[in-house]
Amino acid sequence: MKRRVNVIGVGMTKFVKPGTSPEYYVMAAEAGRLALADAGIPYSDVEQAYCGYVYGDSTCGQRSVYELGLTGIPVVNLNNNCSTGSTALWMARQAVETGAAECALALGFEKMAKGALAAKFDDREPPMGLHAPVMIELQGVTGAPPAAQMFGGAGREYRFEHGTKRETFAAISVKARRHASRNPYALFNQILTVEEVLASEEVFDPLTRFQCCPPTCGAAAAILCSDDFADCHGIRGAVTIAAQAMTTDTLSSFEPKSMIRMVGYDMSRDAARKVYEASGIGPEDVDVVELHDCFTANEILTYEALGLCPEGGAEKYVVEGDNTYGGKHVTNPSGGLLSKGHPLGATGLAQCTELVWQLRGRAGDRQVEDARIALQHNIGLGGACVVTLYRRG
């Protein structure tokens, strides 16, 4: 029988630029200690630990949690690309839900290098197969990072299909910086205008430099437990995981040939659908969202994949301000990956941390008024998508 899972503690470090961070295990231990202090429990109460990172050796998880204590618990190291942090959360949730553990730690961390996302294709062929008009534009293109070519190609395909303005993509970055200006944990706090976003160096049309997430260093953690554990420790009013789903690629990611599908649109749509069906909660009930805005193009695509707006309706959703305070859903109040930063292994748990703070009413100047339902979306190409729905109380 499945049990309810509570998030009783969260913590994260301030995200910083490569070259300015301490060692990975120092950041990881700091996030872990913050989560334990938030939960009000000692590390000795944790029965299992799931540690996520993309760059590192095979047992960086042990090196990190040993800073918290040497208790002999199972420590699982995992890498699921950009969805690594939320995969750690998914595994910890399963452990508690099934009774394998009463209390589990999900920990994500990353110490990235400058230019970590800037590898280039070796040949002159466009990435994967594309719709004809997009493929014509991409022929012979080189120089952009592979991820920018893929997500930029998806954005270009979306523009061809719906006539979306470049200014709409740029407006996503403007919103991200405005939200991040209220977040002391974010890497970039400076406000930008649409004109400044569009004037920044072009990376891969329609993406400019300010529309791409930066390599970042940081760590985040969450403590999950059962109702019995919470009762025994006098923990009341915890945030609960109402539903969670992980999806991976199907044939639809590659057939028909579409960059939109290849960067995970169907994975996101299917995971969201599973979560809504399992919880009985729909997108219209969601108050606050942290979604995977690695590039502005992906945020636009994800609005539709998560059902926050109709297919083809993302531009209207953005122009009418339904993606920010005063609109239908406050998306990425943290500043998102674009402005908060994207340390690959930590991102999913940083999203979790922000949403738990929001549901507790402890998000400071960026607090979403009376937030009760929160939605998290974290995707990694390769691929895996994790969607998590949280409920207050």
Say which amino acid occupies 222.
A
The amino acid present at 327, given as its one-letter code, is G
Helix, coil or strand: residue 152: helix
The torsion angles phi and psi of 344, rounded to 5 degrees, stand at -45, -50
* Backbone dihedral angles phi then psi of residue 170, each to the nearest 5 degrees: -65, -35
- CA–CA gap between residue 205 and residue 100 (Å, rounded): 48
Residue 82 a catalytic site member = yes
For the chain, the straight-line distance linking the first and the last C-alpha, in angstroms and rounded, comes to 21
Q: Which of 60, 82, 212, 385 is catalytic?
A: 82
Do 75 and 46 touch, CB atoms closer than 8 A?
Answer: no
**Tokens 């509570």 found at:** 6
C-alpha distance from residue 21 to each of 29, 159, 216 (Å): 13, 38, 9
Rounded to whole angstroms, how far apart are CA atoms 295 and 298?
5
3-state secondary structure of 331: strand
Residue type at 295 in one-letter notation: F
The H or E element spanning position 323 is none
Q: Which two tokens stand for residue 275?
A: 């979560």
Q: Which residues are catalytic?
A: 82
